[in-house]
Chains A and B, each alone.
Chain A
Amino acid sequence: MATPIEDLVTILPCSWPGEKLPVMPGELRHFAPQGLGLDVGLVVRPWDDPSGPSPSRFYGLDEPSADPFAAAPTAEASGGTAYFDSGPSPEHLKALLSLLGTHLSLKQYAVFMVYSANPIRQGYIRQMRIVSFFALKSLFGVDAIEGPHQLPEQEFDVEALLAAFIADDEWRWGERKDHEEGQNLGFGYTIENTYQCVYRIWSRVWPAGVEPQP
């Protein structure tokens, strides 16, 4: 039996921090955009054209896109979404996470989790969002380091947490008897924001419908 995620980290309720924010970090229907997301003031250097673009434009958020080329982060080399089968070797998993720009040793993060009521229709069994304290403050406006919403540093780093999620869901899948013959377990992993360290992992069922067509 794998160690349940709930025994490794504190899962925050989706309503955390308990007050209404413009975007709740536990609202998993939406994905954070890429980009540095830094609130940099207007920068105008002596030699700049005052009516021209300010360098501060480099520090904003990227416009989301469904086009695989345009969806790449403009101010980061790494990111993206990977789908993979259950049972990845630790070496392959670490290679994937590293290549996509995951901050593997991060311990200052919050965790949110949602279970699907209909895994086939919704495309996931359960999903887990990892949000760094930095992103909580910078993207969502919640200070998790100081003040009333302070959170403790996690005992497990992001690499260990993601590996534990996979192991836990593989064990759960083996225990489940409600899936049909031929259905298998797989995973999805996406870097919502590379710089701010916002990550999402989910378990899913495949095959889950008809094959894609050109």
Chain B
Amino acid sequence: MPSSIDELVNVASSLWPSKYQEVRPGNLTRFIAPFEATLGQDPIERAPRGGPAGGTIYFESHNQQDTIATFALLGADLALTRYAVYTQMSPDPMVYRYLWQIRIVAYDALVTYFDALTEEEVTALHDQPLTVGELLSAFIKGERDRWIDDHVYSNALRGVLGGDDDWAKETLAYGFLVESTQPAVYRIWSRPWLVTK
């Protein structure tokens, strides 16, 4: 089982809430605009127009303090505890370019963005036992423990990104996306990358 996250927070089914929605919050193939792929690649055009912060970053996390500081600079509400969590394992890391991802959706976003719950229904939901900052740190550590087995390379990831185990060997990195700062919708994922000679 990949996820000790399941033991740390309440992970929602991809079909929750059951009310019909055009785009479900648990549908992790979709992004909140302006991160939908149809909107182009220009990072200047893709900036959040309503606020100062956001973005998509790729990183190794050798320094947890820097990592958390960067999440905060990107507008992540690290103290948030009222959020839903959705997870998805990649069916094919070579094609989809991630290993495992989680989406963090503030309860408020289930009302305003997704029209999936009413404000009364959201009021009845429980706080998560971890803050967003603690959850992101737990994800990073959990994935490192799972995949990195010889300090640098990952035998478990051998070949998943087309590496030949000679000129190019797979190891682990991460991606983090602020889909929305207010209300909060974040995505973090583990990903393979190739260390070359």
Q: Interface residues, chain A, CB within 8 Å of chain B? A: 31, 36, 43, 45, 53, 55, 58-59, 64-86, 88, 91-93, 95-96, 98-101, 122-124, 127, 184, 186, 188, 190, 200, 202, 204, 206-214
**Can you list 23 A-B contacts with CB-CB less than 8 angstroms, sorted by A residue number?**
A31-B42, A53-B162, A66-B38, A67-B37, A68-B177, A75-B168, A75-B193, A80-B175, A81-B55, A83-B75, A84-B53, A88-B73, A92-B70, A92-B72, A96-B70, A99-B70, A100-B57, A101-B59, A124-B44, A190-B43, A200-B43, A206-B48, A212-B48
- Residue B65 is within 8 A (CB to CB) of chain A in the complex: yes
Is the CB–CB distance between B37 and A66 below 8 Å? yes
Give the residue of B52, B164, B171 whose beta carbon is less than 8 angstroms from that of A85: B52
A191 to nearest B CB, angstroms? Answer: 8
Tell me the smallest distance from the CB of A45 to a CB of chain B, in Å: 8
When chains A and B are docked, how far (Å) is the Cα of A55 from the Cα of B36? Answer: 33
A77 and B59 contact, CB distance less than 8 A: yes
Instruction: Give the docked Cα–Cα distance between A72 and B90 (Å).
Output: 15
Interchain CB contact under 8 A, A188 and B59: no
Contact with A along B150-166 (1 / 0, CB 8 A): 00000000000111101
Give 6 A-B pairs besides A77-B193, A210-B49 with Cβ atoms closer than 8 angstroms: A58-B167, A76-B193, A81-B55, A81-B56, A83-B54, A206-B49
State A100–B114 Cα separation when bound (angstroms). Answer: 31
Residues of A within 8 A of B34 (CB): 212
B147 at the interface (CB under 8 A from A): no
**Pairwise interchain contact B168-A206, C-beta atoms closer than 8 A:** no
Q: What is the CA–CA distance of A106 and B171 in the complex, to the nearest angstrom? A: 26
CB pair A36 B53 closer than 8 Å: no
Decide: A84 near B196, CB < 8 A? Known: A69-B175, A72-B175, A210-B50: no
Query: Residues of B contacting A72 with CB < 8 Å?
Result: 58, 97, 173, 175, 191, 193
Smallest CB–CB gap between B44 and chain A, Å? 4
Measured between beta carbons, the chain A residues less than 8 angstroms from B58 are: 72-73, 76-80, 100
Chain B residues with CB below 8 A from A70, complex form: 97
In the complex, the answer to whether A212 meets B32 with C-beta atoms within 8 Å is yes
Q: Tell me which residues across on chain B come within 8 A of A213, comparing CB atoms.
A: 32-33, 113
Closest to B50 in A: A211
Closest to B194 in A: A75
CB distance from B188 to the nearest CB of A (A): 11
Q: List the 10 shortest-distance A-B pairs measured between CB atoms, nearest first.
A: A80-B57, A85-B52, A186-B52, A55-B167, A95-B66, A77-B173, A95-B69, A82-B55, A69-B97, A209-B49
B33, B114, B194: the one within 8 Å of A212 (CB): B33
Query: Is B20's CB within 8 Å of the partner chain A?
Result: no
Asked if B164 contacts A55 (CB within 8 A), the reply is yes
Kindly state the separation between the CA atoms of A71 and B58 in the bound complex, as whole angstroms: 9
Q: Tell me which residues across on chain A come within 8 A of B75, comparing CB atoms.
A: 83-85
A80/B56 in contact, CB under 8 A: yes
Least CB distance from B62 to A in Å reads 9
User: Contact at B59–A99, with CB atoms within 8 Å?
Assistant: yes
- CB neighbours of A31 from chain B (8 A): 41-43
B168 pairs with A80, CB closer than 8 A: no
Given the interface pairs A81-B55, A123-B47, A206-B51, the reply to whether A65 lies near B37 with Cβ below 8 Å is: yes
CB distance from A33 to the nearest CB of B (A): 10
> Which residues on the A side are within 8 Å of B168 (C-beta)?
55, 58, 75
Chain A residues in 8 Å Cβ range of B23: 214
Bound form: Cα–Cα A92–B70 in Å: 6
Contact with A along B58-82 (1 / 0, CB 8 A): 1111010111011011110000000
Interface residues of B in 139-197 (CB under 8 A from A): 161-164, 166-168, 171, 173, 175, 177, 180, 187, 189, 191, 193-196
Closest Cβ of chain A: how far from B12's Cβ, in Å?
Answer: 17
Task: Please tell me which one of the listed residues B31, B48, B59, B98 contacts residue A83 in the complex, with CB atoms under 8 A apart.
Answer: B48
